[in-house]
Amino acid sequence: MKNMQIYIICAFVSLMFPLEANAAPSLEKAQAFINKLGEDTIRMIKDGALSSKAKEQKLDDLFMTTVNTAWMSKFVLGRYYRSMNEEQRRDFATTYGSFLRVTYVPNFRRYTGEAFHVIGGKSLSNNEFVISTKITSQEDGASYQVDYRLRCDGEERFRIYDIIAEGISLITTQRSEFASVISNNGVDYLIERLKSKIDKASSTS
């Protein structure tokens, strides 16, 4: 009888910590990562104690560590990536990363208390995941789904590489758009256009 009790307790304990023994990146960890990222971001935006400048700096750091802009720059170039030399690739990666960061600031400042919830997710491979979230407007209750694709590297670090809003993927759209620009005017022209958008966004922000 005593043994039975121990078994039951062991069973309960193992149910409570089913993942602790598993060191590999898990879906639960990926979901927790996105959940924390969303919560941290919203908390930072709402933080009245931080100056606007300090807020920007903090969010910038968060962006740098959580979004894999270098890989995204490679993906959005598609087949044109292969024909570029190392210097062009690095130049494009840096410019594209800056572009992503500066162009969306004005949107971000329009945050009006939308609620953010992780609603599910699935493993795409042993280190790739797609996590679904639901964004609900506080004003009219309208909601939409945003999925994040993320990858876990060898150092157990998750980084986002695509954002899919209601089935529309950011990097897929940009790949298509950039292919059109490059085939008509070349890569250097695209980089120039990105830089001019960055300068414009920086000067108005």
Restricting to residues 21-80, name those near another protein by CB under 8 A.
37-38, 41-42, 45, 56-57, 59-60, 62-75, 78
CB nearer another protein, residue 67 or residue 118: 67
87 binds another protein (CB under 8 A): no
CA–CA separation, 61 and 22 (whole Å): 30
169 binds another protein (CB under 8 A): yes
CA–CA separation, 167 and 147 (whole Å): 8
Residue 162, helix vs strand vs coil: strand
Length of the chain (residues): 205
Q: For another protein, which stretch binds (CB under 8 A), given 2-10, 17-25, 169-177?
A: 169-177
Q: Is the dihedral of CA 112, 69, 54, 31 positive or negative?
A: positive
CA–CA separation, 150 and 38 (whole Å): 14
Residue count, binding to another protein (CB under 8 A): 77
CB nearer another protein, residue 8 or residue 109: 109
91 binds another protein (CB under 8 A): no
Question: From the CB of 85, what's the least distance to another protein, in Å?
Answer: 13
Question: From the CB of 51, what's the least distance to another protein, in Å?
Answer: 13
> If you search the block for the tokens 């078994």, which residue do you land on?
7
The kind and range of the H/E element at 5 are helix 2-16
Edge-to-edge, what's the strand order for the sheet holding 158-165? 115-123, 128-136, 143-152, 158-165, 168-169
158 binds another protein (CB under 8 A): no
156 binds another protein (CB under 8 A): no
Residue 107, helix vs strand vs coil: helix
132 binds another protein (CB under 8 A): no
CA–CA separation, 194 and 200 (whole Å): 10
Q: For another protein, which stretch binds (CB under 8 A), given 5-13, 16-24, 25-33, 155-163?
A: 155-163
CB nearer another protein, residue 29 or residue 114: 114
Question: From the CB of 163, what's the least distance to another protein, in Å?
Answer: 5
Question: From the CB of 105, what's the least distance to another protein, in Å?
Answer: 4
Interacting residues with another protein between 101 and 130 (CB under 8 A)? 101-105, 107-108, 110-111, 114, 116
- C-alpha Rg value of the chain to the nearest Å: 21
